[in-house]
Structure 1
Amino acid sequence: MGWPYEIFALDDAQKHARRQSLDRHAAYAQLSALIPIGLALLYRLGVLMFRRVSPYQPVAYSAVPSSPGLKHERQSAAGSWTIRARRFAWWLGDDVVVLGFNLGQRDQIIFGSLWSIWLVFLCFIGTGNDYLHLTKRFGIVAISQLPLQYLLILKNINPIAFAFASSHEQLNRWHRVLGGIIYCLLLVHAGLYLNFYIHEGILSERIVRPIPALGLGSIIGMSLLCATAIKLIRTYSYRVFFITHLIVALLLPPAIFFHSHHGGRQYVIEPLVFFFIDLIKRKIDTITVPSTLELIPDTNLIKIVASLPSSKLDRFRKYAGMHVYLTIPFSSRRSSHLLFEFAFNPFTIASVDEKSGELTLVARRQRGPMTKALAQFAEDDLASTKVPLCIEGPYGCATWFPNLAGPEFDRVLLVAGGVGSTFILPIFSILLAARFLNHTQHLRYIINENPAARVQMVWAVRGAADASWPLDDGEDSLDDNIQLFLTQSVPRDPTLHEAVELDSNSYPNPRQIHKRPDLRQIVDDFFRQGVEERVAVLVCGPEEMARELRSYVGVWVKKGRNVWWHNEGFAW
């Protein structure tokens, strides 16, 4: 069977019909994504409005974990299907690793493949045997996805994050999937056009003209972006990836706008509008605050205490586990290095003091320019001097968390690795206080049972000093309910990278264990405490730790346990 597509000339009427077909199928490609998102957004808005105007607020029923009712529910037909659904959802969230290379989570691969098939179908359907129609179709279907691609990366105003109760960090993984699909479609578009130029013998003539040159430049820019996104390069220098990503993201829409002179320009105007609206809102929300910095003794940690204006305090203390983006304003820089214009580093909010209005961050010194500059401020012993720093946020998916202290969960397991404790510890503190309150006010727990036993925190750090910085004056130990594992004496790879410059959080603990945590044993012991109990597991730490912990928790999910899982990370 031969190649069915041919190159032939069309009259004006045929060209107009082809143009209409191109526009129609590009609209199909865009609307097939935006309509479901719009419906989800309307549903979310409807639920929110109903909750605000309705005088009735439903209260979840808190069944005793060992009650016959829960056992009967689990063994019923509906319960059996619920367990299967939970297993399937967990299976979708697992990483797919081939030859040691992480291809992403299973849902990314499955839904990404299905979306690719749909878009490729739209590229072929109705093109007949017109080679140039097929060539142009690949290009316009690809750029029809650009508005969605840019929506997925918005930080401040993100309707998709609101519609699906998510955050821009969680949506970023779909941004990567869609970016790969768009890149492949545009590669085919460029390849087919280059083949056409070669076939007609006009390659050298056309390639220097503005329109083809802009298209080729766009492909080169996207190829460079994809190359710097490779984990090896991204880990070695996240700044190279970030700067390349930002420059290409800003230059690509104008280049495609002038390249696609016959149609589809609305698809590159829309993303720029979204991008700049979000950027303006972020700039408005960014505050410059006086801050003090100090080095934590015997560690490579830097403590940052920023004085917040009273008008901004509420939004930073509302939820635990949120993060901010920190930048160094021009007036505070020791040098005019252009890298600081691209330095927007995420740091988890370790604590917010409502009385003093101070926000605390803790950074681990890495190889990047941001933490090097912060360390320089701290080394200069500026304890009595306030350094102006810019803070943007807060961000994070904690706003959409279920009520971990409510009746939906019987036990909560919190696991932190190193600086990941800044996310875990505030949640632990609030959880512990809330569960003691439940115990006192509602008698939710069995008489004489310690409610803290239902909240377990495991924290692995290199040395005791890494867990010392949050101690208030007069304190000399962590909460007794925290298991602290000291791993400094255990051989490890001390690789540092600037991909993520997060923060740290905690206190030394009498329950110190000088070894790496046995996550399998910890998980098994935790789940064996109640067969019917509903469990929440939250982890923030190295990627390998989170993957290992998930594999052990997955064993219990397969056994039918009801588990809510969250892995907090800034891998991208």
Structure 2
Amino acid sequence: MSWPYHFISLSEDDKLHRRELLDLRGCYAQWSIVVVIVAIRIFRFATRSTTRWNGLVSGKARQYMVCGLWLLWLLGLSIWNSGDDYLHFTKALGRVGLSQLPLQVLMSPAYVSQPAASSVLSLLTGISQPKLTPYHRLFGRAVVSLLLAHAALYTLFFVQSSHPEFGILLYKRVQDLDVQCGLVAVFLAVLLVLFVRPASQKGLQAWLVQGTFRERRKMFYFGHVSLVVVLCVAVYFHVKQAQQYILQTLAASVLNWLCSWALR
């Protein structure tokens, strides 16, 4: 099968229609989260069995299956109605990926006075935070995968596009603030994937971070949050369309902290 996407020229009306579809994708991606939460609550109410429910959400194979299906759903949203427009698909990957940032925050354990304080999503779904945290890590990898694909496809576009002064468009765009912020965001996203959990007794993270496991866990938490904050700042200045998702992520973070503080 040949690559279905191409660089195409669009009229202003076509570009407006593309922006509307991109906004719609973000809405669908976020409303689908609400649908899943409601479905979980209905299932829990229907079964009324904590043991059965714990069995359904536990297990690495099941966690990978759920997150894999969610990644396929997000990828399908990115492909939906993009036609053969290369940039449409590329932008859609970024838009859909960023739309999931508030969910990531609402799934994350808020430290407050204890490292496993329940998140908002834990309270909404009834899934204990220790069982929800692995999903937070795996969903984060899915989001990063979409953002890395977005960055890679845009880079290929810049490499294959010419510029009258710089030869290829890439040499021009890397000097622009928006692309520089995007590159910083990609670098931070990769770091978040590499350092996804507190340092254990062995491994690179334990070598980098000395001290007891409790101290390493605390340092991991604040280091992880710091990386996320800088990532969000870079994304905010990367493109205007991303700003709404960053503001939503900030609001989700405040809500998560307030909820954990109230229940500590």
Task: Give the TM interval when normalised to the shorter protein.
Answer: 0.7 to 0.9
Task: Report the alpha carbon displacement of residue 133 of structure 1 after superposing the two structures with TM.
Answer: 0.3
Counterpart-to-counterpart distance in 2, 1:159 and 1:258? 28
Structure-to-structure mapping, 1:164-563, within 5 angstroms: 164-200=125-161, 201-229=168-196, 232-236=203-207, 237=209, 238=216, 241-261=220-240, 263-279=241-257, 394=264
2:157 is matched by which residue type in structure 1?
Answer: F
Counterpart-to-counterpart distance in 2, 1:145 and 1:223? 17
Counterpart-to-counterpart distance in 2, 1:10 and 1:160? 41
Structure-to-structure mapping, 1:42-53, within 5 angstroms: none
Q: Deviation digits for residues 388-418 of structure 1, max 9, x if unmatched?
A: xxxxx74xxxxxxxxxxxxxxxxxxxxxxxx
Which of 77, 82, 97 is the aligned partner of 1:142?
Answer: 97
Structure-to-structure mapping, 1:72-111, within 5 angstroms: 90=55, 93-94=58-59, 105-111=60-66
Counterpart-to-counterpart distance in 2, 1:38 and 1:266? 24
Of the structure 1 ranges 270-279 and 119-128, higher mean CA displacement relative to structure 2 is found in 270-279
Instruction: Name stretches of at least 5 consecutive residues in structure 1 with no aligned partner.
Output: 48-81, 95-104, 286-392, 395-572
1:213 is matched by which residue type in structure 2?
Answer: Q
2:75 is matched by which residue type in structure 1?
Answer: V
Task: Report the alpha carbon displacement of residue 214 of structure 1 after superposing the two structures with TM.
Answer: 0.8
Distance 1:128 1:281, change over 3 A: closer
Counterpart-to-counterpart distance in 2, 1:142 and 1:207? 22
Aligned to 2:7: 7
1:121 and 2:76 are equivalent in the alignment: yes
Task: Report the alpha carbon displacement of residue 192 of structure 1 after superposing the two structures with TM.
Answer: 0.3
Aligned to 1:24: 24
Confirm or deny: 8 A CA contact 1:142 1:182 kept in the other structure.
yes
Aligned to 2:35: 35
Counterpart-to-counterpart distance in 2, 1:41 and 1:130? 39
Distance 1:279 1:92, change over 3 A: closer
Confirm or deny: 8 A CA contact 1:29 1:119 kept in the other structure.
yes
Distance 1:30 1:277, change over 3 A: closer
Counterpart-to-counterpart distance in 2, 1:141 and 1:223? 18
Higher RCO (C-alpha 8 Å, min separation 6):
2
Corresponding residue SS for 1:265: helix
1:134 is matched by which residue type in structure 2?
Answer: F
Task: Report the alpha carbon displacement of residue 38 of structure 1 after superposing the two structures with TM.
Answer: 4.3
Distance 1:221 1:162, change over 3 A: same
Counterpart-to-counterpart distance in 1, 2:176 and 2:187? 16
Task: Report the alpha carbon displacement of residue 229 of structure 1 after superposing the two structures with TM.
Answer: 2.6
1:152 is matched by which residue type in structure 2?
Answer: M
Aligned to 1:153: 108
Q: Cα RMSD over matched residues?
A: 2.9
Distance 1:19 1:114, change over 3 A: same
Confirm or deny: 8 A CA contact 2:57 2:131 kept in the other structure.
no
Distance 1:268 1:92, change over 3 A: closer
2:256 is matched by which residue type in structure 1?
Answer: D
Task: Report the alpha carbon displacement of residue 259 of structure 1 after superposing the two structures with TM.
Answer: 1.4
TM-score normalised to the size of structure 1? 0.38
Confirm or deny: 8 A CA contact 1:112 1:178 kept in the other structure.
yes
Counterpart-to-counterpart distance in 1, 2:144 and 2:189? 7
Task: Report the alpha carbon displacement of residue 202 of structure 1 after superposing the two structures with TM.
Answer: 1.2
Instruction: Name stretches of at least 5 consecutive residues in structure 2 with no aligned partner.
Output: 111-116, 162-167, 210-215
Counterpart-to-counterpart distance in 1, 2:3 and 2:121? 41
More helix by share: 2
Q: Deviation digits for residues 214-233 of structure 1, max 9, x if unmatched?
A: 11100101111222237633
1:126 is matched by which residue type in structure 2?
Answer: N
Task: Report the alpha carbon displacement of residue 235 of structure 1 after superposing the two structures with TM.
Answer: 4.3
Aligned to 1:377: none
TM-score normalised to the size of structure 2? 0.78
Distance 1:42 1:92, change over 3 A: closer
Q: Deviation digits for residues 205-252 of structure 1, max 9, x if unmatched?
A: 101211111111001011112222376334443356434311111122
Distance 1:274 1:19, change over 3 A: same
1:133 and 2:88 are equivalent in the alignment: yes
Identity percentage over the alignment? 29
Confirm or deny: 8 A CA contact 1:25 1:141 kept in the other structure.
yes
Distance 1:169 1:208, change over 3 A: farther
Confirm or deny: 8 A CA contact 2:120 2:255 kept in the other structure.
no
Counterpart-to-counterpart distance in 1, 2:56 and 2:101? 30
Counterpart-to-counterpart distance in 1, 2:72 and 2:175? 34
Counterpart-to-counterpart distance in 1, 2:70 and 2:259? 31
